[in-house]
Structure 1
Amino acid sequence: MARVAPAVRSRQLVEAAREVLSREGVASTSLRAVAAEAGVPLGTMQYVFPTRESLLRAVIEDVVNEIDAVFADTEHTDAGLEPALRDGLRAFWNRLAGNRNLQVMQYELTTYALRTAGQEELARWQYASYTRVVATWCARAASSAGEVSAIPLDRLARIAVASVDGLILQYVCDPDDARADRDLETVIDTLVALAAPRPA
């Protein structure tokens, strides 16, 4: 059997974990189930991810990287913070927010971590990572245009994550595209008003 590079094997197992998590939920996702999904021996699974928690963290990291890539695709040099907020949040919504399985999986990972003794840090890290992605993206946009925000960008990012997170949860429970589009525009307008970008 040909040897598989660790990075390739890790990627294969994370993809399998996302499939199992989306289909079965966090409670029913074991290392054995993921190994079976990936078509590898359990020993191989445990070599790459010794614990279930290490696998779940890798899945969250993968989702964070996916979000980061969406924002990066919308980056326009020198365009400024307002266009970044408008284009980035619309792109995020269009590409990821409507993926019901992905969103439910993320909420389940959060509640699992909060309800499992010793795993609370995973939920904190999850949302800190989402916020870091948005804050970094806003900082790049503001810096490239020579702008500053009226409020600290980490605060702006937390408000953005909280607002969009709430819209996603409503959409998952009651998928109404027209309503979601209107509400997203209101959130974006609010964030732009809070940031009130101006020349540095």
Structure 2
Amino acid sequence: MARIDATTRSRQLVAAARSVMAREGVARTSLRTVAAEGGVPLGTLQYVFPSKELLLRAVIEDVTEEIADVFRAAVRPDGGLEHAIRAGVTGFWSQLVAGRADLQVMQYELTTYALRTPGQENLARWQYARYVDIVAGLCQEAAARAGETCAIPFAQLGRLLVAGVDGLILQHVCGPDPARSRADLDAVVAMLVALAGVRRADDT
């Protein structure tokens, strides 16, 4: 049997963990069930991820990088800040929210599990800080490339964007209504664009 390198094995096990968590819930997911899902002995999983907490962090990292990839793919490098907000949010929603309730519930469960597990509170803090960093970084890069300024700090823009979209996701998951959700999403995007007050840097 061909030997699988550590990076590939880690990715396979994270994918297996995501499948189990989406199906069974984070609290009911154990290293044993993830090993079975991934088709490896429990000892192999424990060698890569000695604890459930380390596995959870790897899953959160994987989810956040997926979000970052979707945002980057949706945004044109030269489109400017308003485009980055509009295209990033709508691209994220269409690919990772619409029809993906299992993924969104899993993300909320990861947060609450970390908050309720003594010693793991920092994991939840890191999760949301990473979301904000991704959004703020992409918005700042888009503005810089277009020679634009933002009326509020990019970190604050990132926090408000994440908070607004997060709330709409929770409402959508609890009571799916695609037309309502899209209308509300468009309204939130419009508010964020207005708050950003995008201007050309040479006009300030």
TM range (shorter): over 0.9
Aligned equivalent of 2:114:
113
Whole-Å separation in 2 of the counterparts to 1:74 and 1:12: 26
Deviations 1:7-64 (A, max 9, x none): 1000000000000000111111111110000000111101111110000000000000
Aligned equivalent of 2:167:
166
Deviations 1:51-97 (A, max 9, x none): 10000000000000100000110221322100111111000000001
Q: How does 1:37-116 map onto structure 2 within 5 Å?
A: 37-98=37-98, 99-116=100-117
Aligned equivalent of 1:34:
34
Whole-Å separation in 2 of the counterparts to 1:108 and 1:66: 18
Q: Taking structure 2 as the reference length, what is the TM-score of the superposition?
A: 0.97
The code of the aligned residue for 2:3 comes to R
Shift of 1:100: 0.4
Determine helix, strand or coil for the equivalent of 1:35: helix
The code of the aligned residue for 2:38 comes to A
The code of the aligned residue for 1:183 comes to D
| Aligned 8 A contact 2:22 2:103 in 1 | yes
Two-structure CA RMSD over aligned residues (Å): 0.7
| Aligned 8 A contact 2:75 2:83 in 1 | no
Aligned equivalent of 1:146:
147
Whole-Å separation in 1 of the counterparts to 2:9 and 2:173: 32
Whole-Å separation in 2 of the counterparts to 1:77 and 1:67: 17
The code of the aligned residue for 2:137 comes to T
Task: For structure 2, list consecutive stretches of 5 or more residues without a partner in the other structure.
Answer: none
Deviations 1:115-169 (A, max 9, x none): 1111100100000010011001101110110111000000000000000000000
Q: Taking structure 1 as the reference length, what is the TM-score of the superposition?
A: 0.98
Q: How does 1:184-195 map onto structure 2 within 5 Å?
A: 184-195=185-196
Superposed structure 1 runs of 4+ greater than 3 Å apart: none
Whole-Å separation in 2 of the counterparts to 1:74 and 1:144: 16
Task: For structure 1, list consecutive stretches of 5 or more residues without a partner in the other structure.
Answer: none
Whole-Å separation in 1 of the counterparts to 2:178 and 2:199: 33
Aligned equivalent of 2:158:
157
Percent identical residues:
62
Aligned equivalent of 2:183:
182
The code of the aligned residue for 2:15 comes to E
| Aligned 8 A contact 2:78 2:142 in 1 | yes
Q: How does 1:115-134 map onto structure 2 within 5 Å?
A: 115-134=116-135
Whole-Å separation in 2 of the counterparts to 1:80 and 1:195: 12
| Aligned 8 A contact 2:25 2:109 in 1 | yes
Aligned residues: 200
